[in-house]
Structure 1
Amino acid sequence: MYLTNIINLFSQKQIEEGRTPGTVKTYVGVLEKFQAWLTARNIELNHISKNDVQLFMDYLEEQKKGAGTIEKYFAAISVFARFLGKSEIMLNIHRKEKLKESEIPDSLEDKEEKKILSEVELDGNLRNTAIVYTLLYTGIRISELCALDLNDIDLTENKLFVKNENGQIERGIPLSSEVNKHLINYIDSINNPNREALFVSSVNKRLSTRAVQYMLQKYNVNPHKLRHTFCQKLINKGIDIHTVAKLAGHKDINVTKRYASVLEANLEDAINRAFS
């Protein structure tokens, strides 16, 4: 399949599948820009990898492209990846979060948090307990959790390290005594300490994001809500926004600022109660 005609073949296939001319034109425009970026790096469009897609998403963000524009590029490349028979390369690609100015992230109330932690501990599954505490007390994304290796946890220094696909450390997150305790309990229970992945399934395969989501459904919670709770608790305790952004791995400080709007609402309510 020659590089000069692969986009033409792709666009023809989209027309045959009933895509509108406007949609096909958008896809082609995205792919031509992606192709130009790849060519500068001596990479062929029909040989793209997951890492290429992630680096291109990062490049778009560095170019100050908006979240909506980045999502448009991602959608077009996803369709193209499916055309190549390589849909898997689009899984867990990090990209700029789309903001809704009026949207306040949904987080757990204290009593809800205590209930979930109590239930998961009562079930007695050391792995699941460690997962819930790690998500809630470090704020890492579900994809980052599933990518963790045993050597990403330093129980001596009480730190968890999030790495990129090249194995470089993106950020280190201090571990509280609670999450440290449950990670120790879980790691001590591992029968094969020489394995790479931290969290594995019952068949000893690295745990998938879908499996974690399914497990959390039992406790009526999702990974996003646990991550939001982590950020909200830090903001509520007076931790500055830049520190919270660094711990959460937010590339856009405006994402972090949403959590502060909860405090602003509470302050307004306090004034109204006291002086009305």
Structure 2
Amino acid sequence: MLDFNKLCREFVEYLQIEKNASPYTIKYYQEDLDIFFAFLSREGVSDLNQLDPKMIRVFLTELYDKQLSRRTVSRKISSIRSFYKFLEREAIVQSNPISHVSIPKTDKPIPTFLYMEELEKLFEVNDMTDPLGQRNQALIETLYGTGIRVSECQGLRLSDIDFTIGTMFIRGKGKKERYVPFGRFAEIALETYINEGRIELLEKAKSNTDHVFLNARGKPLTTRGIRVVLEKMVEKAAVTVHVHPHKLRHTFATHMLNEGADLRTVQELLGHENLSSTQIYTHVTKDYMRKVYMNSHPRAK
């Protein structure tokens, strides 16, 4: 009898150790594989070599019957394809029946971003005499000033910041590393926090840490903690839009392109492997330019 749970555990270990996948990525992989394994059990499949493209099409039909979006179906097929690549590598299967199954094209949503007026309100809400206020200011200046991911921000160490040349060493997705610059506002906020507020927060902990961003107990701030911090800042600033760490990343990219940065540079700064991942922001800038034109040109309306 096929031990699906054992194979899933081995695959997750592979994702964690060799692919350096995030907890969120692993969570979705596991959910997708659970659905796939349930399908195999219903079909009486006891050998993964039994699977063929015809059976995959039956699986696809079941997914569509559940009224799932193309994006969700695409992700599930991608998860199973990665799983079979792992099985091929481990010589558990002889071929990958999903390698020739086309993934349904998805409509890429245009990312939303913040306008400077909205950002300014967030920059003004923190009490710079308070350790947590200093931390929060450094946090938002870092996220907006560099465009790094929330996981990259959470993993930032003191030794990763070089104030002499204004750069950060970032450990990105898939163990990819890059250097990103930061500007004067982020520099001031970080220096204030590191030299004052962080020292006070660290005194509350019984152990030392090299993590830059700490919680109220002096322990490393989690990615969830970063999201909560931003939510509280939004509430305090009375900003009506929803703000999350990735929205600040979208805002960074959009503002860079709006101010004339070239696509390749923004790709490097964001740590995108493919230029296509960065190109979505050109749609944002075109939309932005059209709005400016419609609101500004005397004969636009």
What is the one-letter code of the residue matched to 2:20?
Q
Match of 1:110 in 2: 116
Is the Cα contact below 8 Å between 1:161 and 1:169 reproduced in 2? Answer: no
Matched, 1:239 2:258: no
| Counterpart Cα distance in 1 of 2:12 and 2:258 | 48
The 1:122/1:186 distance shift into structure 2, 3 A limit, reads closer
SS in 2 for 1:219: helix
Q: CA RMSD in A?
A: 3.7
Match of 2:170 in 1: 162
Matched, 1:52 2:22: no
SS in 2 for 1:160: strand
Q: CA deviation at 1:10?
A: 2.4
| Counterpart Cα distance in 2 of 1:274 and 1:46 | 59
Aligned counterpart for 2:228 among listed residues 198, 204, 214 = 214
Q: CA deviation at 1:100?
A: 3.3
The 1:247/1:67 distance shift into structure 2, 3 A limit, reads farther
| Counterpart Cα distance in 2 of 1:255 and 1:68 | 20
Is the Cα contact below 8 Å between 2:128 and 2:134 reproduced in 1? Answer: no
Match of 1:9 in 2: 3
Matched, 1:183 2:190: yes
Q: CA deviation at 1:262?
A: 2.8
Match of 1:120 in 2: 126
Match of 1:133 in 2: 141
Q: CA deviation at 1:114?
A: 0.4
SS in 1 for 2:266: helix
| Counterpart Cα distance in 2 of 1:119 and 1:158 | 25
| Counterpart Cα distance in 2 of 1:75 and 1:129 | 42
Offset from partner CA, 1:156-202 (integer Å, 9 cap, x none): 11111102589x77111111000001100111023359632111222
The 1:275/1:218 distance shift into structure 2, 3 A limit, reads same
What is the one-letter code of the residue matched to 1:110?
M
What is the one-letter code of the residue matched to 2:262?
D
| Counterpart Cα distance in 2 of 1:45 and 1:204 | 35
Identity percentage of aligned residues: 29
| Counterpart Cα distance in 1 of 2:75 and 2:265 | 26
Q: CA deviation at 1:218?
A: 1.4
| Counterpart Cα distance in 1 of 2:265 and 2:258 | 13
Q: Mean alpha-carbon deviation: is it higher for 121-130 or for 255-264?
A: 121-130
Match of 1:262 in 2: 284
SS in 2 for 1:251: coil
Q: Bigger radius of gyration, 1 or 2? A: 2
Aligned counterpart for 1:227 among listed residues 249, 252, 255 = 249
Matched, 1:174 2:181: yes
Offset from partner CA, 1:115-160 (integer Å, 9 cap, x none): 0111135684111111111001111000000011110111111111
The 1:254/1:121 distance shift into structure 2, 3 A limit, reads farther
Match of 2:275 in 1: 253
Match of 2:29 in 1: none
| Counterpart Cα distance in 2 of 1:216 and 1:239 | 27
Q: CA deviation at 1:77?
A: 8.7
Match of 1:90 in 2: none
Structure 2, unaligned stretches of length 5 or more? 26-70, 84-104, 235-242
The 1:149/1:68 distance shift into structure 2, 3 A limit, reads farther
SS in 1 for 2:20: helix
Matched, 1:201 2:215: yes
Where do residues 76-95 of structure 1 align in structure 2 (5 Å cutoff)? none
Q: Tell me which stretches of 4 or more aligned residues in structure 1 moved more than 6 Å.
A: 75-78
User: Between Structure 1 and Structure 2, how many residues are aligned?
Assistant: 213
Q: CA deviation at 1:257?
A: 1.4
Q: CA deviation at 1:110?
A: 1.2
Offset from partner CA, 1:217-273 (integer Å, 9 cap, x none): 113321111111100110000100110111011122122112212332344453794
TM-score scaled to structure 2, two decimals? 0.60
Offset from partner CA, 1:20-63 (integer Å, 9 cap, x none): xxxxxxxx8xx6xxx9xxxxxxxx658546123437x9xxxxxx
Structure 1, unaligned stretches of length 5 or more? 14-27, 36-43, 58-65, 79-97
Q: CA deviation at 1:76?
A: 9.5
